[in-house]
Amino acid sequence: MNITAMGRFTEFVPQEMVEELTQRAVEAQKNSYSPYSHYPVGAAILMESGKIFTGCNVENALLGATICAERSAIVSAVASGEREIKAVVIVLGEGGAPCGPCRQFINEFNPHAYIYSATSDGVIHNEWRLDELLPNSFGPKDLKHLA
Ligand code: THU
């Protein structure tokens, strides 16, 4: 696969790492369980530790019980004892942006994470820092008095 990256954040996430994440997200997308929407999504997340976790959307006959690819990858990372997200690549339809709840979920583990969206051919269409997608976020800082 010939992965085409963009490059605004290469200083923080090396090009080869974005390529590796994209490849892993393309693979995860193939495992998507999406019999209702027929809209498979794959995600790969790089943790600050250097470990990579993947996820895909898993739909349910109770449609609202569906979990998105990004959140399934994050749940897997947290279950393995990881907390700090560095970068996320999602692979979906036309390379669109992550949904609101997934932005919020990523925010919990790094409000400045780097986010890339790609299509299943490995072309990256967008790149953002999470705070561009979720400005003025509500997050752990707002509840630190409860911690
Ligand atoms: N979906 C994701 O997995 N991630 C997103 O960011 C957007 C939407 C999934 C949920 C559902 O299975 C399908 O895409 C259509 O909404």
pTM assigned to the model = 0.96
Q: Would you state the structure tokens that stand for residue 84, as one six-digit string?
A: 């700090």
For residues 53 and 46, what is the distance between their CA atoms, to the nearest angstrom? 7
| C-alpha angle 124-77-24 in degrees, rounded to nearest 5 | 30
Nearest-CA residue for atom 9 of ligand 1 = 68
Quote the tokens at residue 45: 């997340």
- Tell me, in angstroms, the distance from the centre of ligand 1 to residue 67's CA: 8
Provide the residue-wise pLDDT of the chain in tens; the chain has 147 residues: 766 667 899 999 999 999 999 999 999 999 999 999 999 999 999 999 999 999 999 999 999 999 999 999 999 999 999 999 999 999 999 989 999 999 999 999 999 999 999 999 999 999 999 999 999 999 999 999 998
- For residue 40 and ligand 1, the question of a CB distance below 6 A is answered with no
Instruction: Please tell me the distance from the alpha carbon of residue 69 to that of residue 58, in angstroms, as a whole number.
Output: 7
Identify whether 70 is a catalytic site residue.
yes
